[in-house]
Amino acid sequence: MKKAASLLVLAIMLVAFSGLASAQTELSLWYHGAGNETERSILLGIIDDFNALQSDYAVVLEEFPQESYNSSIVAAALAGDLPDIIDVDGPVMPGWAWAGYMVPLNLSEGALDDFLPGAIGTWNGDVYSVGLWDAAVALLALESTLDAHGIRVPTLDAPWTGEEFDDILEQLQATGDYEYALDLGMAWTGEWYPYAFSPLLQSFGGDMIDRDTYLSAEGVLNGDEAVAFGEWWQSLFERGLAAGTSQDGADRETCFIDQTCAVQWNGNWAGLGALEAHGDDLLFLPAPDFGAGSTIGAASWQFGISSASENPEGASAFIEFAIQDEYLAAFSDGIGLIPATSSAAAISEYYSEGGPLEVFYGLSNEQALVRPVTPGYATMALIFEKALADIANGADVLDTLDAAVDEIDQDIEDNGGYGFEM
Amino acid sequence: MTSAASARKNAPIWVRLLLPRDAPLYQRNDAVMGWLMALPALLILTIFLVIPFMMAFVVSFTNQRLISPNPAEWVGFRNFERLLTIRNFTLEPERDDSGAIVYADGEISYPRLREFTRNNPDYPELDGLREFTSWQSGDNRTVILVGDVVFLRALINTLIFAAVIAPLQGGLALLLALLLNQALPFINVFRSIYFAPVVVSMVVVSLLWRFIYDGQNGLLNTILGMITFGNFQPVDWLGNPYTAMPAMIAMSAWQAVGFHMVIWLAGLQTIPVSLYEAAGLDGAGAFQKFRYVTWPGLRNTAVLVLIVITIQAMGLFVQVDVMTRGGPLDATQSVVFQAVQRGYDKQDIAEGAAISVILFVIVFTIAMVQRYLTRERS
């Protein structure tokens, strides 16, 4: 009898405790960075802080490998099984927002005032996602190389002109010291092509799509400016100035470190490795200006709220909590990303004043242009990638760009304008 | 026979199965038992193969997207039309005011095709078509315009791939099997070595061969350079439109040759030794033994190997995805790669489904033709 009574007390206590624990509503968070320990520990740190500092919500992390993250989200959406908070790659966000996977953020007034433009994901006038960091691309070169050949060091205000850049590549190639004067990273198939190369097209005055209407690429991707870009692009490979589409991934990683290429078009994430190899001699230079300005791509992974969430306020509260400067700086220090605010950059290791990667913050802030903000981007990006690869391999420039335009326009038409007024 | 027994005999199968009887189930009706045993496999095949294919068939007549708030609509044969449109078009030379043909660099100069295929109200039927190939006919140029150049290339590439790899891989495998079908010491070691690539994932094999085919310092270029004392000019195997497909065929043949070798070996071992002995007594040489004993004995194995290789070849995907992504200049596009790229990457699931349906029809036809050609003739 006594034993039964004590069991009963135990049972009551158990129920009471579990009741206490569930006083916090659970919010699930899906993240794309499975396998990266540093990223995980920083993110878990933010989650633990959030869960400890308020009693309404408890965020629970679930990680996916990057390669299968997007398809996991799509599958979950089709199955009606989305988590509360998702992270989303910047250019993909409009697609998910349009499809109804996401709802706009509900952040307090002014929360994003100091943010880099590329870290804010806007669609249809609403902010759907915000990034704790951004990424940027620059030309990597050695000061000693430029000095030795009497080449001027370009600045943000006075980048190399297109002609100047071309002459420099010819000059460096002619030295015979390098396999290729320029490494564009052609081995990185996929999103690298539109992310890294569409800014060069924009600098010529073209683009992937007419950003006024988002309904057609006619005249923009196959106009005179785009053709001029295409001719120049093709000539880089014809003249043997850059490695083509069959470039080996290992060459991409090591050519600048080993100095078998003189100038490299690469992201801030590669900056630390290059710094280790070359120290003070290393320069991060802005993109050349081919006539319509010097520009680079923007937007990296960002956080947003899924439409399936029953607690969007809670999800918003977590995101607002996560975008504090100290966390932005923590991610930057941990994995080398560009902090999304200037105040976070100031307290970060690499992007503070005098920090080794400081220049990238300036690039992101001054020059960054987000990739076309349309649900059609995912398809457009692949079409663009194929066009650039074909042109690099010697296909007729105008015909290839025409075909890309036709395919993009067809896709937009098939999708009823992707939410834009037809 | 009692009336109860005869009633049972005339009852439908399911009644007979349910009625209690002395004999155990498996003795009652072989056919029923057979179906029962096949049931799990049939169920799985239906759920994961038949139903998805039916769905793909239905979806291929719609404009269903992978991610979209727009409801799917019936579009009839639109997806198939886009993929399969082929037209020929005669391009007339440019003429100056006097009507004489204009020459540029000694060659007849023609207007650009885009003047006809893009927004030209006089040629609405050509709108959006692209040149697949063209040739000279008199002063004119005959151009084959198609709705989907990439798909057509993919289709032709895949057919070429299958046509080359079926005899190549099957023949090599048979050669290996004949060599290994001997009672030599350590023969199992060799069998394992040749079988090893089959066990390794195709993704890994493809990655390794990308290094081997590297245009600058790849293993293949290095070896060819060494045996020619440096006279060999390095070839960018996967970066050159002319070598990319042969390189892929060679690598694919190597990867799966061990699998078919094992099937040939199994076939070889079913041929009774007494037949060889009898042939030997009749004075048959090694070749004659192969021609009149081995080959007829391998008949069914050959049919199996041929059909399996062809079907696998028509599904060419992983190598393309990992090594070239269809490039350079569409030299290695394949049908399945296009189905996946359009269905998932470009999110046009209806078009991906249409490609799958076309592939199904082709594979089915090829398999039927092969069945017919290799049938038992009495």
Per-residue pLDDT tens over the stretch A351-407: 999 888 888 998 898 888 999 999 999 999 999 999 999 999 999 999 999 999 999
Chains A and B form CB pairs within 8 A to the count of 83
pLDDT band at A179 (very low <50, low <70, confident <90, very high): very high
Provide CATH code, domain A25-135+300-370: 3.40.190.10
With 80 as the cut, is the pLDDT of residue B17 above it? no
Q: How far is B102 from chain A (nearest CA, A)?
A: 22
B231 reaches A (C-beta below 8 A): no
ipTM value for the complex = 0.83
B71 reaches A (C-beta below 8 A): no
Candidates A77, A99, A246; nearest CB to B238: A246
B70 reaches A (C-beta below 8 A): yes
Tell me which CATH homologous superfamily contains domain A137-293+376-419: Periplasmic binding protein-like II (3.40.190.10)
- Residues in A whose CB is inside 8 Å of some CB of B read 71, 74, 77, 95-96, 98-101, 179, 189, 244-246, 248, 250-251, 375, 378-379, 382-383, 386, 389-390, 393-395, 398-399, 402-403, 406, 410-411, 414-416
Residue A338: other Cβ atoms inside 10 A: 34
Ranges of each domain in chain B = 3-59, 86-147, 150-373
CB–CB contact A411 B68 (8 Å): no
CATH class of B150-373: mainly alpha
The token pair that represents B360 in the structure block: 């199904």
pLDDT per residue as tens digits for the range B320-376 = 998 888 879 999 999 999 999 999 889 899 999 999 999 999 999 998 998 888 887
A390: nearest CA partner in chain B: B329
Backbone φ and ψ for A57, nearest 5 degrees, come out as -125, 150
Mean pLDDT of chain B: 88
Beta bridge partners of residue B140, listed in sequence order:
B137
Report which secondary-structure segment, H or E, holds A60.
Answer: strand A57-63
Encode burial over B109-137: b for 16+ CB neighbours within 10 A, e otherwise: ebeebbebbbeeeeeeebebbbbbebeee
Q: Closest Cα to residue A344, out of A128, A129, A138, A131?
A: A131
The token pair that represents A186 in the structure block: 């052609």
CB–CB contact A390 B327 (8 Å): yes
pLDDT of residue A19: 46
Candidates B130, B344, B345; nearest CB to A403: B130
With 90 as the cut, is the pLDDT of residue A42 above it? yes
pLDDT of residue B1: 47
pLDDT of residue B149: 92
Measured between alpha carbons, how far is B355 from B84 in angstroms, rounded to an integer?
Answer: 10
Max intra-chain CA distance, chain B: 105
pLDDT per residue as tens digits for the range B297-322 = 998 899 999 999 999 999 999 999 98
pLDDT of residue A175: 94
Measured between alpha carbons, how far is B170 from A310 in angstroms, rounded to an integer?
Answer: 59
pLDDT band at B82 (very low <50, low <70, confident <90, very high): very high
Contacts of B332 in chain A (CB under 8 A): none
Mean pLDDT of chain A: 90
pLDDT of residue A5: 61
Contacts of B218 in chain A (CB under 8 A): 248
Measured between alpha carbons, how far is A155 from A364 in angstroms, rounded to an integer?
Answer: 14
Please give the full DSSP string across A168-229, using - where no structure is assigned: HHHHHHHTSS-SEEEE--TT--STHIIIIIHHHHHHHT--SS-TTTSS--TTTTSSHHHHHH
pLDDT of residue A171: 96
Contacts of B327 in chain A (CB under 8 A): 245, 389-390, 393
Q: Can you tell me the mean pLDDT for B224-253?
A: 90
The token pair that represents B66 in the structure block: 């992978």
Note whether A159 and A365 are within 8 A (CB).
no
Q: Return the sign of the alpha-carbon dihedral for residues B257, B157, A407, A367.
A: positive
CB–CB contact A399 B63 (8 Å): no
Identify which of A72-76, A77-81, A185-189, A400-404 has the greatest average pLDDT: A400-404
Candidates B65, B149, B325; nearest CB to A415: B65
Ranges of each domain in chain A = 25-135+300-370, 137-293+376-419
CA A256 vs CA A358, B47, B215, B217: distances in Å: 20, 52, 18, 17
Q: Can you tell me the mean pLDDT for B31-45?
A: 89
With 60 as the cut, is the pLDDT of residue B173 above it? yes
CB–CB contact A414 B348 (8 Å): yes
